[in-house]
Amino acid sequence: MVEQARRGARGWAVDTVLFAFAVFAWLYLVGERIRIGMPSPSWLFEVDQVAGLIGLGLLWLRRRRPAQAALVAAVLSGVSETIAFPLIVLLFAVTVRCSLRVAALVYAVSLSATFVYWALRPEEGFSLLGNIVFSVVLSGAVAGWGLFVRYRRQLRARAAEQERAERERARQKAREELAREVHDLLGHRLSLLSLHAGAIEYRPDAPPEELAGAAGVIREQSHLAMRDLREVIAVLRAPIGELPQPTMADLRDLVEEARPGMRIELSVDAEGEVPDRSGRTAYRIVQESLTNARRHAEGAAVAVTVAGGPEEGLRVAVRSGPGEDAGAGSGHGLIGLEERTALAGGRLAYGPTAEGGWLVEAWLPWTA
């Protein structure tokens, strides 16, 4: 594995500074060699200079070909002392950008070059053991620094990946929430349409006023259903967001929309302003319960009670009497209510009553 990096403006600046420093180091080492005396045999001096110049060129390959550049520099270090600084930079680049196996191979070649260098210049500098110790210490320092930078980058990349995963989970959660909103909104509208369309179908001899009223409800609910669909499509086309969220203040409007064809008694006794989250969840519980009552208890009376306060929380109860079942449902609505209530930190219970009706009860915390 080789990690290649694009050389942006910052990369060009860093590479230029490194190259300038490497040129200075080459000039300094050449000057010192001339000052202290030429190596023996004398041709090593020319070879050393050429190898150092090649090392300067290899610096520009450290981003695109770090392993190859470092390997060439390691081999040349057996005959050159002026390539020392480019070799250190390239060893660091290999540690950061290449696999550990490739980095270990390059370091092994670099240490092996120490024996060649000492064999060509045994009278200079340290003994063989001293040269090996110096090379091991210097290589170890470069490798340690490179590994630190490598793993720090990996940690940053892992953190960025986790952040992307969190954002994706948030998007998925928003999509699921949107699906629930679609179910609640359209289920409510379409159940009203079905109720009043059924009334027109089965009672064609009803008074004109009743037929006109039912037709008016169908027209109004059809218009509202189309509006809801447009809102859903707008959200799906736009970046992830939410549909306009209802609150407790919208509960009375919800009940008034459902009153035609239903007998609903509403009682709201909440101390102060209900927090948005709890109020929105209570609204959805009542909405789904009314939809189910129209489907499974047509003609039955429905009692909706919402009460509570900051101390005891918010209690929601929707009780419907026995009525005519208009058809079996999927059961997904109540499952969705359980999930929604749990997400809000509350509890939901539902089931048949002794009178043959149906009761949905919920408790919600008084939290925003």
pLDDT at 341 over 50: yes
Least confident among 133-142, 175-184, 275-284:
175-184
Of 82, 105, 125, which residue sits at a domain end? 125
> String of b and e for 21-58 (b: at least 16 CB within 10 Å)?
ebeebbeebbeebeeeeebeeeebbeebbebbbbbbeb
Q: List the CATH number of the domain containing 302.
A: 3.30.565.10
For residue 190, is it within any domain? no
Whole-number pLDDT of residue 180? 66
Note the pLDDT tens digit of each residue in 300-333: 889 999 999 988 999 999 998 887 665 544 456 6
How far is 324 from 298, CA to CA, in rounded Å? 5
For residue 213, is it within any domain? no
Note the pLDDT tens digit of each residue in 224-246: 677 666 666 655 554 544 455 67
Q: Amino acid identity of 84?
A: A
Q: How confident is the model at residue 118 (pLDDT cuts 50, 70, 90)?
A: confident
- Asked if residues 74 and 104 have their Cβ atoms less than 8 Å apart, the reply is no
Of 75, 102, 125, which residue sits at a domain end? 125
**Domain limits at 37?**
9-125
For residue 258, is it within any domain? yes
Q: Where are the alpha helices (DSSP H) in 98-127?
A: 100-120
Of 125, 150, 172, which residue sits at a domain end? 125
The overall average pLDDT reported for the chain is 80
**Domains of the chain: total:** 2
**Cβ-proximal residues to 92 (8 Å cutoff; 6+ apart), any chain:** 142, 145, 146, 149
Residues linked to residue 318 through DSSP beta bridges, in sequence order: 304, 360
Helix (H, G, I), strand (E, B) or coil at 323: coil
